[in-house]
Chains A and B, each alone.
Chain A
Amino acid sequence: MTIVAEPSKKIVCWSCGGDNDADTQFCANCGKLQPYTPTDYFAFFGLPRRFQLDTAALEKQFYRLSRKFHPDLYARASAEEQRWSLEKSSVLNDAWRTLRDPLARTEYMLGLAGIRLEVQSRDASDRAVENGTAKQQVVPPDLLEEVFELNMQLEEMRMAKASGSDDPETRGSLEAARQNFDAQLKASEQDLHRLWSEWDAAAEADDGSTQQAAQQRMVDLLNRRSYIRNLMRDVEAALKS
């Protein structure tokens, strides 16, 4: 996933010389396809950069642009136009897959704010080694404690089950654990939606510190979710075995 935030500037149509906004896909004057310029997925779709997205508008725009960028339409066009139609079709598909999925969209939005979840932990380690200080854990300590405890309990249940006793009690506690994790994942989705609207409202109000606070809570929430998802996978494996 490439994330490029370009300052908006005007572009001049290669064909008719007409002035267009930076993210224009087709010249407003002559309708010709414009060169591909790296941009964020929201701008590519012409949608506002918000966590809460009008998914109906997104879908409509996706199908509209899919047709209009389709390489078949450019079979007789210039080599450049053929290349742009291919590039734009490919970006369109990546953008669609990312923006329509609530979690992928959240991670993408956080990425636009400079937060990359997958390297956060590593970056914190690098900083700690550089400064000779203890690492700033990206996960709050109480969550680590909780995850550790849950893993311990799960291990006990798995061991009880593996030692031959497929007793209803063990199965029951595994089932209860599964339901608990499932409920936690559902609750976290609701929390995420609340944080989205908090951030979006703060973005309208130009309230950067509220946006940052909401972002940080989203990071915590996503980290927590990835732990719960792992625990869920382990419980399900234990129930099936």
Chain B
Amino acid sequence: MAYSDKVIEHYNNPRNVGQMDKNSTEVGTGLVGAPECGDVMRLQIKVNPETRVIEDAKFKTFGCGSAIASSSLATEWVKGKTVDEALEIKNTDIVKELALPPVKIHCSVLAEDAIRAAIGDWKKKNVAVGEQASAQVAVAAN
């Protein structure tokens, strides 16, 4: 099976490989995996708390070329979007952009899962931060 030019391009020049501080409240981390093919993918986003815009994204994927290309593309696409806009990214968009063959569709699903997981993690942290802040306010008021 031949990879499309776009997959090869992302595979050879992956964008945004790296990691961010997963303990930062501005950072959301999604770690997802597809046990059937042995892939693991970590995607991280850094969100501006005021505007909810994703200012930076990093990934690290252990898997096939399509998994790497899908996550590389995902980081490119989420950057500059608000978290709500990023949730609109569908795996089918990734399939189209990378011209993935049917046997590799699960790679795009994994990338979509990673985006959702990263956003979910960021939201969870920030609800917690919000609660903590209001709790502190409540304590201060007493």
Q: Which residues of A contact B (CB under 8 A)?
A: 117-118, 121-122, 125, 128-129, 134-135, 137-139, 141, 144-145, 147-148, 151-152, 155, 222-224, 226-227, 229-231
Chain B nearest CB, measured from A188 CB (Å): 13
A-B pairs under 8 A by CB, number: 64
Q: Which 5 A-B pairs have the closest CB atoms?
A: A230-B38, A223-B35, A134-B120, A151-B62, A135-B113
B37: chain A residues at CB < 8 Å are: 230
B window 33-80: CB within 8 A of A:
33-38, 40, 42, 60, 62
* Additional pairs, 16, CB under 8 Å, beyond known A129-B90, A135-B32: A121-B35, A121-B106, A134-B117, A134-B120, A137-B113, A137-B117, A141-B31, A144-B40, A148-B31, A148-B42, A151-B40, A152-B60, A226-B36, A226-B38, A227-B33, A231-B38
Contact with B38, one of A118, A134, A155, A229 (Cβ below 8 angstroms): A229
A148: chain B residues at CB < 8 Å are: 31, 40, 42, 60, 62
B90: chain A residues at CB < 8 Å are: 129
Chain A nearest CB, measured from B18 CB (Å): 12
Chain B nearest CB, measured from A117 CB (Å): 7
Q: Is the CB of A147 within 8 A of B112?
A: no
Residue in A closest to B30 when the chains form the complex, CB atoms: A134
Residue in B closest to A148 when the chains form the complex, CB atoms: B40
A165 to B91, CA, bound (A): 41
Q: Which residues of B contact A (CB under 8 A)?
A: 31-38, 40, 42, 60, 62, 90-91, 106, 109, 112-113, 116-117, 120
Chain B nearest CB, measured from A227 CB (Å): 6
Residue in A closest to B90 when the chains form the complex, CB atoms: A129
Chain A nearest CB, measured from B71 CB (Å): 13
Q: Is the CB of A227 within 8 A of B112?
A: no
Q: Is the CB of A139 within 8 A of B116?
A: no
Chain B nearest CB, measured from A159 CB (Å): 13
A148 to B95, CA, bound (A): 25
A152: chain B residues at CB < 8 Å are: 60
Contact with A227, one of B32, B35, B42, B116 (Cβ below 8 angstroms): B35
Residue in B closest to A154 when the chains form the complex, CB atoms: B62
Given A125-B109, A144-B40, A230-B38: A134 in contact with B33 (beta carbons within 8 A): no
Q: Is the CB of B31 within 8 A of A144?
A: yes
Chain A nearest CB, measured from B95 CB (Å): 13
A139 to B113, CA, bound (A): 13
Residue in B closest to A223 when the chains form the complex, CB atoms: B35
Given A144-B33, A145-B31, A226-B35: A134 in contact with B109 (beta carbons within 8 A): no
